[in-house]
Chains A and B, each alone.
Chain A
Amino acid sequence: MTGRSITVRTYAWVLLALLLLTAATLLLSFVPLGMFHMPVALLIAAAKTVLILLYFMHVIEQRYTIRVVLLVAVLLLGSLIVLTVADTATRDVPFHPPAPE
């Protein structure tokens, strides 16, 4: 069911973009961003993921069903992470074991 609209040239451009984004992530890690380091790095990782999904994995030309599978999986793993971290982040008694001896 895949069309032949993704050419090898597209793949090459995507690879270039991926490598550039990797370099960007690396460079940004040396910039003082404080608490934004992780979100920025993960956002760029997500962007790279989207490129791989759309082009290397052909999602851009796939049927709707595939996107639904992706979406549901992502939403569920998102809710696992969010609700669990919300627990540790909102405890009255912070979870720190006794100071090391």
Chain B
Amino acid sequence: MTTTASPRPPAPAHVETKNYLNAETTFRSWATTTDHKRIGVLFLAGVTLSAMLGGTFALLLRLELLTPEADVMTAMTYNRLFTLHGVVMVWLFMIPAIPGAFGNFMVPLMIGARDVAFPRLNLASFYFYLSGALLVIAGAIAGGADTGWTFYPPYSAQTPTALVPVLAGVFVLGISSTMTGLNFIVTIHTLRTAGMTWWRLPLFVWAIYATSIILVLATPVLGLSLLLVAIDHAFALGVFNPAHGGDPILYQHLFWFYSHPAVYIMILPAMGVISEVVPAFSRKNVFSYRGIVIASVGIALVGFLTWGHHMFTSGMSAFDSGAFGVLSMFVAIFSAIKVFTWVGTLYRGRITLSTPLLYFFGFLFLFAFGGMTGVALASTSLDVHWHDTYFIVAHFHFIMVGGTMMGFMAGLHFWFPKMFGRLYSQRLSAVVALLAISGFILTFTPQFLLGNAGMPRRYHTYPAEYQPLNIISTIGSWAIGAGLLIGLLYLLVALWRGKPAGSNPWNLLGLEWSISSPPPPHNFEEPPKVWQEPYDYWRARND
């Protein structure tokens, strides 16, 4: 039985006393805050602006691709745009978004803590994020790089473009990532409230924990790789230069050792959001709590062993290709466990078609489909044909946009009432969700077909027979852009004019819903005690 989405109307509107937003309102109080909630809001603002920037680059790229010829920009400009699109979307949006915005805000609340383990480190992580982002933007203004977001040598050592500020920015962003991950791991180990055992942790917390392992241990390898590229660019050290006896494939090993786990940094938090949204709007316990936990940690750890599947056509040995192919297939097992668990949770639940759940349906279809193409790509013999075509572009956008972006939007709509104490227009948000999901399908499905038909990526022109599908893809991009823009607008309006949300607008279990919206500055009056399993709706049956 389904009911249309409408969070239950709040009890008589309380005049909220001090909350974390209005306790102090000076610029200084925000600039020097160590409150995890404020830092979460700062990250939310930062990543939203970054997504808009990266999205604008994407719209420009798709504009050029409306026609087979070069009519809007030169090849060099196109190369700079796709490089910046990748850099901005990956490091200024995808990697920091859910952990930085929602992880920071929600994790301490979910475990019953007053703050994260190292609040000042948390603030520092935001300033490193800001500095890194500004460096990348400075690099963009200086013309940006044209190497692709992967910075492969030997070209990266030779390119005349402004590589160093972009590399420096990403390096600094990496430091921010590592700090964030470290903070979360220590927080989850040491600040759980009484009764909050590991097996009672909300699944979003587990997701952030698994992500943090990758943040701490993978990011340094990226830092090193970028450092080596920067040194090679500036000083001709030739560590990867064949003319000096270097092997460019070794760079790829180092780069992808980070960048493959990085995609799990991007998807695990989104999966964590989904694991909160699905039981919430089925009013049912998760089908297999332990399954999700094991799958989350499994993805984080096994994901470290699969990087070579980005290198099947690079010249890497056949032995390694085979090994990485098999290992890559293993990782898919964990994702499958999660997909089946979420669907099993919905089954015979009391479904509420809220906007977060709509984003979940988008996620479910797109992530599952994208994931399956990933399993196909893990097979070396197939990848040889698809590598560097639009098939790959479609695959990772299905996961990144169809997965992470949908997860981000679901989280945003799920936790907005808690973070800001306001409700947004349910109907409008549902329409936008459908627009965004349809726009996505329109943009990226044709790209699978284009790639399979042989259209290569990273070119600003293409043979005329590919045009019809490209036109559809570009129109889809406009739909996504329009949808997300409208989304931003109604959320901004809701900040000022939305109805008060009350502490538990969705009527859910969980420590975070037991305090006011917006939460008070120190979260809990008394450290809460936990005795219930999470999502225990069947037992609670308080309807």
A binds B: yes
8 pairs from A and B in contact (CB 8 Å cutoff): A83-B253, A83-B320, A84-B250, A87-B253, A90-B318, A91-B316, A91-B317, A92-B317
Q: Is B323 an interface residue (CB 8 A)?
A: yes
Contact with A along B288-319 (1 / 0, CB 8 A): 00000000000001001100100000011111
CA A79 to CA B305, docked complex, whole Å: 7
Q: Is B536 an interface residue (CB 8 A)?
A: no
Contacting A at CB under 8 A, from B159-190, are 189
| Residues of A close to B189: CB separation below 8 A | 65
- On whether the beta carbons of A90 and B320 are closer than 8 Å, the reply is yes
Q: Is B533 an interface residue (CB 8 A)?
A: no
Contact with B along A85-96 (1 / 0, CB 8 A): 011111110010
Partner of A87, one of B217, B304, B316: B316
- On whether the beta carbons of B217 and A73 are closer than 8 Å, the reply is yes
- On whether the beta carbons of A80 and B217 are closer than 8 Å, the reply is no
Q: Is B221 an interface residue (CB 8 A)?
A: yes
Cβ of A43 to closest chain B Cβ, rounded Å:
24
Cβ of B213 to closest chain A Cβ, rounded Å:
7
- On whether the beta carbons of B320 and A80 are closer than 8 Å, the reply is no
Q: Is A34 an interface residue (CB 8 A)?
A: no
Partner of A97, one of B245, B315, B318, B319: B245
Cβ of A50 to closest chain B Cβ, rounded Å:
20
CA A57 to CA B217, docked complex, whole Å: 20
- On whether the beta carbons of A90 and B217 are closer than 8 Å, the reply is no
CA A95 to CA B189, docked complex, whole Å: 46
- On whether the beta carbons of B317 and A87 are closer than 8 Å, the reply is yes
**Chief secondary structure at chain A's binding surface:** helix
Interface, chain B (partner A; CB < 8 A): 189, 213, 217, 221, 242-243, 245, 247, 249-250, 253-254, 257, 301, 304-305, 308, 315-320, 323-324
- On whether the beta carbons of A87 and B242 are closer than 8 Å, the reply is no
- On whether the beta carbons of A79 and B242 are closer than 8 Å, the reply is no
Partner of B319, one of A72, A73, A76, A86: A86
CA A89 to CA B257, docked complex, whole Å: 18
- On whether the beta carbons of A86 and B221 are closer than 8 Å, the reply is no
- On whether the beta carbons of A86 and B317 are closer than 8 Å, the reply is yes
Starting from the known contacts A83-B253, A83-B323, A88-B317, 12 additional A-B residue pairs (CB-CB under 8 Å) come to A72-B301, A79-B304, A79-B305, A84-B257, A86-B319, A87-B320, A88-B250, A90-B319, A91-B316, A92-B317, A95-B247, A97-B242
Cβ of B416 to closest chain A Cβ, rounded Å:
35
| Residues of A close to B257: CB separation below 8 A | 80, 84
- On whether the beta carbons of B318 and A92 are closer than 8 Å, the reply is yes
| Residues of B close to A84: CB separation below 8 A | 250, 253-254, 257
Partner of B247, one of A65, A72, A80, A88: A88
Partner of A86, one of B217, B254, B323: B323
CA A40 to CA B320, docked complex, whole Å: 27
CB closest chain-A residue, reference B213: A72
| Residues of B close to A88: CB separation below 8 A | 247, 250, 317
Given A91-B317, A95-B247, A97-B242, A83-B213 contact (CB < 8 Å): no
Cβ of A38 to closest chain B Cβ, rounded Å:
19
Given A72-B217, A80-B257, A95-B247, A87-B308 contact (CB < 8 Å): yes
Cβ of A66 to closest chain B Cβ, rounded Å:
11
CA A90 to CA B319, docked complex, whole Å: 6
- On whether the beta carbons of A76 and B217 are closer than 8 Å, the reply is yes
CB closest chain-A residue, reference B185: A69
| Residues of B close to A89: CB separation below 8 A | 317
Cβ of A89 to closest chain B Cβ, rounded Å:
8
| Residues of A close to B315: CB separation below 8 A | 91
- On whether the beta carbons of B317 and A83 are closer than 8 Å, the reply is no
CB closest chain-A residue, reference B245: A97
CA A76 to CA B245, docked complex, whole Å: 27
Cβ of A62 to closest chain B Cβ, rounded Å:
13
With most chain B CB atoms within 10 A of its CB, the pick from A65, A72, A86, A87 is A87
CA A92 to CA B320, docked complex, whole Å: 12
CA A39 to CA B92, docked complex, whole Å: 43
Enumerate the 4 nearest inter-chain pairs by beta-carbon distance, A residue then B residue, closest first.
A90-B319, A90-B317, A87-B320, A91-B317
Contact with B along A6-46 (1 / 0, CB 8 A): 00000000000000000000000000000000000000000
| Residues of A close to B301: CB separation below 8 A | 72
- On whether the beta carbons of A83 and B305 are closer than 8 Å, the reply is yes
CA A87 to CA B243, docked complex, whole Å: 20
CA A65 to CA B217, docked complex, whole Å: 16
CA A89 to CA B317, docked complex, whole Å: 8
CA A89 to CA B250, docked complex, whole Å: 12
CB closest chain-B residue, reference A95: B247
| Residues of B close to A80: CB separation below 8 A | 221, 253-254, 257
CB closest chain-B residue, reference A100: B245
Cβ of B256 to closest chain A Cβ, rounded Å:
10
| Residues of A close to B324: CB separation below 8 A | 83
| Residues of B close to A91: CB separation below 8 A | 315-317
- On whether the beta carbons of A83 and B318 are closer than 8 Å, the reply is no
Cβ of A64 to closest chain B Cβ, rounded Å:
11
| Residues of A close to B323: CB separation below 8 A | 83, 86
CB closest chain-A residue, reference B186: A65
CB closest chain-B residue, reference A93: B315
CB closest chain-B residue, reference A84: B253
CB closest chain-A residue, reference B319: A90
| Residues of A close to B213: CB separation below 8 A | 72
| Residues of B close to A90: CB separation below 8 A | 317-320
- On whether the beta carbons of A83 and B217 are closer than 8 Å, the reply is no
CA A80 to CA B261, docked complex, whole Å: 12
